[in-house]
Structure 1
Amino acid sequence: MPDLIFDDVSITYQTSGRHDRGQVHAVRHVSLDLPAGGTLGVAGESGSGKSTLAMSVLRLLPRNATLTGSVRIGDTDVADLSFGKLRSVRWAEASIIFQGAMHSLNPVHTVGRQILEALELHVTDRWPTEKARKQRVKDLMKVVDLPAEKAESYPHELSGGQKQRIMIAMALACEPDIIVADEPTTALDVIVQKQILDMINELVHERGISLMMISHDLSVLATACSRIAVMKDGELVEVGPAQQICLDPKQPYTQQLASAFPVIGDPASRMHPVTRREQAPRPPVDERHTMTDEVLLEAHGLNVTYRAGRTPVHAVKDVDLTIHNGEILALVGQSGSGKSTLARTVLGLQPADDGSTIQFRGADLPTRSRAVRAFRRQVQMVLQDPSAALNPKLSVYESVAEGLRVQHFSGSEEERVAEALQSAELIPAERYVGAIPQELSGGQLQRVVIAGALAIHPEVLVADEPVASLDASVRGEILALLLSLRERLGLSALVITHDLGLAWNIADTVAVMYQGRIVEHGPAEEVLLHPQHEYTRTLLAAAPSIRGRAAA
């Protein structure tokens, strides 16, 4: 079994065209080694160079990339391999679990067919016939804990966790010695994340596989890796045992990464997200908006049923929910628990079953177009994926102004757009108005989406997983922004999340949703520190903790 060695590796990209930035130095003089059978985590935020380093293992970098130094698998320099030899190394000696399972899987082929393709490209004595290869696919489905019949499914028919399991099955197909996992649990809920990490751990220990895992989350790496390397701006900042990196980091940047994710129960992180960016001044204590007894949005006996052929699917069951003026309510639960369906329903975007009641300021949700438009002015949604929510061809100005035009805003559009950008802490506004989405970072994109919602002065924001895919410090900035909006503008918010740390960071109250029902609801401290329902306890046990995992 070979070692994986990075020897003084530097990687640059040569950019051109409209967004020409000359040479971009993505990785600078990195030397690392992954011993045979070892585990190595590489941590860092977006732009740190960690994924570029990972892609270099199998020469998957784009054509405009130039690599100096050497990447070796055993005694073989990957750069010296012919295409034929490189193809024999891919899958068979080293394989990659890519970050975005939905984007990495072919939507027009079943997942079983895609696993089979790797086996057909690397025919060995272990699976020389079609029958043997099909049996290998069935065995792999069992290894990743999926029913054999799921191999006949298309990617869109599987959940996020199931797609990630398929990616792991593909990576294991040809029994490689080395696996590179690039953000394998990003945006998965805590239960599925724990299942995936436990599976990876089990496979590594049982089969002696070498694992290189990439993540911006130190608590995830502490779960699976014995050593962690921290990267910033393409350079290695710190390398050491996982316990030391997580619990006793030496470098300031590593300390920031380690403190970025809140510890549930830690008073220091309660209503205080960790950020690296200077926040807008907070209003004086006596001028801050806080939660009141005034009810804004409420649902009683809410049921939502989908029809799948002749079979009814009860997505939301007998839910009672109330959002008060100035309240931040976190609705937590696994994927498929009904959280997003509930959010769309209280917004009037999804019809509720007969007998359900939804009211805003004591009046039933409107059904006529003019009244619906007025309601949408008061209750706005912030979508999970800002890249998908924004039109890539529209400037920031046009994206933020779009809602004003829909609402027939009669005042100064330019002033209101500038005000919204400033409220979302995109300052100075004139720096951003002409930018298009691809020119902005993930955190800036999420602020643009929030600015678009703020432009029409709503009273309630419904935010669906607003920080699920963001880096640690950017995540803290967006959460701090939501708190700031409540304090400065009196905004209420319903935040949909699977992240209990987020709820501890910013929520006044927490509602836990399981199989379409609210199983626990109360003040955040009470629900998160003294859970009454078994499912809430299960969520808390599955939540990653940098302290608990690293010390284990």
Structure 2
Amino acid sequence: MSPILRLRDTSVSYLRDGELVPAVRGVNLSLDAGETLGLAGESGCGKTTLAMSVLHLLPRSARLDGEVLLDGHDVRTLSWGELRAARWSSASVVFQGAMHALNPVRSIGAQIAEPMRLHEGKQSESRLRERIAELLEQVELPVRRVDAHPHELSGGQRQRVMIAMALACGPRLLIADEPTTALDVVVQSQILELLGRLVSERDIALMMISHDLSVLSSSCSELAVMYQGELVEQGPTDRVMADPGHEHSRALAAAFPTVGDSRFRFAPAGTRPSEEASSAEPGSALLAARGVSVNFGSGDGIHAVREVNLEVADNEILALVGQSGSGKTTLARTLLGLQRPSSGRVLFDGAELATSTRGLRRYRGQVQLVLQDPTGALNPRHTVYEAVAEGLRIHGATSDERDRVTEALEAAELRPAESFFARFPHELSGGQRQRVVIAGALVLRPSVLVADEPVASLDATVRGEILALLLRLRVERGLSTLVITHDLGLAWTIADRVAVMYQGHIVEEGEVEQVLLNPAHDYTRTLLAAVPSLREQPATER
């Protein structure tokens, strides 16, 4: 029996300025029913382009060469009608970023029904409702949410809707493009378990795309690694992870720390910490919450933060961890003076946070925010220089603007700074954009950074570089940092202390080794159990 998917010397090039630029070069692989293939690699390596070629979902500027056989038919030779029929029914895609992929003004039931209406002809409304209910049950969503809209669902629920849509027409191949990016570890674990169960129950093939080897190694039986458009390594996951043969495979594996492994403690991407970084000691409390609560609505409204006591010490990195909806971001907004507490106090350097406009502006010069999504944080029409100088102009500190912007860019390791002045965000890589955001926070020479998921959207090796940068800023500038994250590996790598937040409460707090190696609270243990790990044989078995 022929495989569901077979690629033979598949190549993709894009026409740019009259020339063909190769994106994928000579890929060969196959995928059978019941198999799960993980396609790993960093942004720009060609993995998404390769996956989209399976259903010819490529822009007009793309040229597809070689063979792409789906159920034995080469998609390059299919007519428009045949290709349209193959989409959803032979193969379907779970796209990255469910909030952007779903229609915000249509109910989830209507969106799940759409591919069935388009591809399976007319059927009774009662039968359609039955099938929608079956799909919702399969992806473990309550049937009562059928009339809900995307904004009324959590990130994990929206991802389940995307999976239900992909399964609607009974495809034999499911392509999942970064299906767990930006999801917290518990929801990520649930989505991966769901995909594995669907492969087993429906006897379908799954191609999962990710830059995170820990996700792929814990959920896929086969692993293929792409680098600069080529497939550089392929084989059973256990073998590839136990003894990676290519340098890039080893780099990807080393970029994701293992909680409890001392090699990754204060050492992004597997490098050893400097003595200076290791010996830095936290000082007295610089930023503190005292009995802070934040409620939304009146009466029995939403209690987002409940009587939180938290301190960020001078010269300290504190990780605030928890699932989406636990109250982390609301607490951070309150510490930044962007949200008034319903009760309790916020203190900076021993003094209560001002409430006047002038006082808050002065305070925000000392406590700066680094946003999660650098693309969304930067104005696409502003140059790098304008983006970094904006804070100085708001605070009226423009007398030495050029020198301060240069200093901030250099501190964020964008060197030489002048070469970045005139560039726009779309001309930068993801890591460079994140460094510009960090430079924009540094330009006011703050005492505290509040970093909200600072590496969630970045590739493996770039993630390590940004974490190393945060460590160096602590050493060189004595900069305290509150890192908000659902990534316990990040907390293990760079934090001095960790605070665990659950349903608005801080349920556990202490030194990183104490909390992550000997957790006292059940919720902390749940978070740790959900963290995917690289499947690797012990050294004695190699």
TM-score range relative to shorter protein: over 0.9
Determine helix, strand or coil for the equivalent of 1:384.
Answer: coil
Tell me if the contact between 1:395 and 1:434 (Cα under 8 Å) persists in the aligned partners.
yes
- Tell whether 2:218 aligns with 1:223: yes
- 1:297 corresponds to which letter in structure 2? L
1:143-222 correspondence runs (5 A)? 143-222=138-217
Aligned to 2:50: 53
Determine helix, strand or coil for the equivalent of 1:91.
Answer: helix
- Tell whether 2:324 aligns with 1:329: no
Determine helix, strand or coil for the equivalent of 1:200.
Answer: helix
Tell me if the contact between 1:275 and 1:473 (Cα under 8 Å) persists in the aligned partners.
no
Determine helix, strand or coil for the equivalent of 1:224.
Answer: coil
Count of matched residue pairs: 538
Aligned to 1:250: 245
Return the TM-score normalized by structure 2.
Answer: 0.96
- 1:255 corresponds to which letter in structure 2? R
Distance in structure 2 (CA, Å) of the matches to 1:362 and 1:549? 51
Q: For the structure 1 residues 224 and 330, does the alpha-carbon distance in structure 2 shift closer, same or farther, using more than 3 Å as the test?
A: same
Of 435, 438, 451, the match for 2:439 = 451
Tell me if the contact between 1:289 and 1:487 (Cα under 8 Å) persists in the aligned partners.
no
Aligned to 2:105: 108
In the TM superposition, residue 289 of structure 1 has moved relative to its aligned partner by 8.0
Determine helix, strand or coil for the equivalent of 1:108.
Answer: coil
Q: How much identity, in percent, do the aligned residues show?
A: 57
Distance in structure 2 (CA, Å) of the matches to 1:242 and 1:212? 13
Aligned to 1:407: 395
In the TM superposition, residue 248 of structure 1 has moved relative to its aligned partner by 1.2
Distance in structure 1 (CA, Å) of the matches to 2:398 and 2:27? 56
- 2:219 corresponds to which letter in structure 1? A
Determine helix, strand or coil for the equivalent of 1:337.
Answer: coil
Of 310, 331, 334, the match for 1:345 = 334
Of 270, 285, 288, the match for 1:298 = 288
Aligned to 1:546: 534
Distance in structure 2 (CA, Å) of the matches to 1:318 and 1:312? 16
Distance in structure 2 (CA, Å) of the matches to 1:385 and 1:371? 28
1:123-162 correspondence runs (5 A)? 123=120, 128-162=123-157
- 2:92 corresponds to which letter in structure 1? S
* Deviations 1:9-50, CA, capped at 9 Å, x for gaps: 11011124xxx9x43211011111112332111100000100
- 1:240 corresponds to which letter in structure 2? G
Distance in structure 1 (CA, Å) of the matches to 2:3 and 2:246? 31
In the TM superposition, residue 156 of structure 1 has moved relative to its aligned partner by 1.3
Of 257, 270, 294, the match for 1:262 = 257
* Deviations 1:89-110, CA, capped at 9 Å, x for gaps: 1111110110111111111111
Aligned to 1:94: 91
In the TM superposition, residue 158 of structure 1 has moved relative to its aligned partner by 1.1
- 1:414 corresponds to which letter in structure 2? R
Aligned to 2:59: 62
Distance in structure 2 (CA, Å) of the matches to 1:258 and 1:113? 41
Unaligned runs of 5+ in 1: none
Distance in structure 1 (CA, Å) of the matches to 2:410 and 2:283? 29
Distance in structure 1 (CA, Å) of the matches to 2:283 and 2:37? 51
Q: For the structure 1 residues 288 and 44, does the alpha-carbon distance in structure 2 shift closer, same or farther, using more than 3 Å as the test?
A: closer
Determine helix, strand or coil for the equivalent of 1:477.
Answer: helix
In the TM superposition, residue 225 of structure 1 has moved relative to its aligned partner by 1.2
Distance in structure 2 (CA, Å) of the matches to 1:76 and 1:140? 28
Aligned to 1:384: 372
Distance in structure 2 (CA, Å) of the matches to 1:228 and 1:271? 29
1:272-311 correspondence runs (5 A)? 272-274=267-269, 285=276, 290-307=280-297, 311=300
Distance in structure 1 (CA, Å) of the matches to 2:515 and 2:275? 29
Tell me if the contact between 1:97 and 1:180 (Cα under 8 Å) persists in the aligned partners.
yes
Determine helix, strand or coil for the equivalent of 2:114.
Answer: helix
Tell me if the contact between 1:222 and 1:549 (Cα under 8 Å) persists in the aligned partners.
no
In the TM superposition, residue 217 of structure 1 has moved relative to its aligned partner by 0.9
1:343-492 correspondence runs (5 A)? 343-354=332-343, 356-492=344-480
Distance in structure 1 (CA, Å) of the matches to 2:63 and 2:324? 40
Distance in structure 2 (CA, Å) of the matches to 1:291 and 1:88? 63
Distance in structure 2 (CA, Å) of the matches to 1:108 and 1:549? 49
- Tell whether 2:6 aligns with 1:5: yes
- 2:229 corresponds to which letter in structure 1? G
In the TM superposition, residue 169 of structure 1 has moved relative to its aligned partner by 0.3
In the TM superposition, residue 75 of structure 1 has moved relative to its aligned partner by 1.8
Distance in structure 1 (CA, Å) of the matches to 2:406 and 2:450? 22
- 2:325 corresponds to which letter in structure 1? G
Distance in structure 2 (CA, Å) of the matches to 1:549 and 1:88? 44
In the TM superposition, residue 290 of structure 1 has moved relative to its aligned partner by 2.5
Return the TM-score normalized by structure 1.
Answer: 0.94
Q: CA RMSD in A?
A: 1.9
Aligned to 2:15: 14
Determine helix, strand or coil for the equivalent of 1:135.
Answer: helix
Q: For the structure 1 residues 169 and 473, does the alpha-carbon distance in structure 2 shift closer, same or farther, using more than 3 Å as the test?
A: same
Aligned to 1:319: 308
Tell me if the contact between 1:275 and 1:474 (Cα under 8 Å) persists in the aligned partners.
no
Determine helix, strand or coil for the equivalent of 1:268.
Answer: helix
Determine helix, strand or coil for the equivalent of 1:495.
Answer: strand
Distance in structure 2 (CA, Å) of the matches to 1:264 and 1:289? 21
Tell me if the contact between 1:243 and 1:550 (Cα under 8 Å) persists in the aligned partners.
no
In the TM superposition, residue 310 of structure 1 has moved relative to its aligned partner by 6.0
Tell me if the contact between 2:35 and 2:205 (Cα under 8 Å) persists in the aligned partners.
yes
Distance in structure 2 (CA, Å) of the matches to 1:289 and 1:389? 34
Tell me if the contact between 2:238 and 2:536 (Cα under 8 Å) persists in the aligned partners.
no
Aligned to 1:71: 68
* Deviations 1:489-547, CA, capped at 9 Å, x for gaps: 00000000000000000000000000000000000011011100010011001011103
The answer to which of 86-95 and 450-459 deviates more is 86-95
The answer to which of 431-440 and 195-204 deviates more is 431-440
Unaligned runs of 5+ in 2: none
- 1:500 corresponds to which letter in structure 2? L
Distance in structure 2 (CA, Å) of the matches to 1:270 and 1:292? 16
In the TM superposition, residue 224 of structure 1 has moved relative to its aligned partner by 1.9
Q: For the structure 1 residues 316 and 548, does the alpha-carbon distance in structure 2 shift closer, same or farther, using more than 3 Å as the test?
A: farther
Determine helix, strand or coil for the equivalent of 2:44.
Answer: coil
In the TM superposition, residue 136 of structure 1 has moved relative to its aligned partner by 0.6
Determine helix, strand or coil for the equivalent of 1:26.
Answer: strand
Aligned to 1:32: 29
Q: For the structure 1 residues 372 and 32, does the alpha-carbon distance in structure 2 shift closer, same or farther, using more than 3 Å as the test?
A: same
- 1:292 corresponds to which letter in structure 2? P
In the TM superposition, residue 292 of structure 1 has moved relative to its aligned partner by 3.0
Tell me if the contact between 1:283 and 1:487 (Cα under 8 Å) persists in the aligned partners.
no
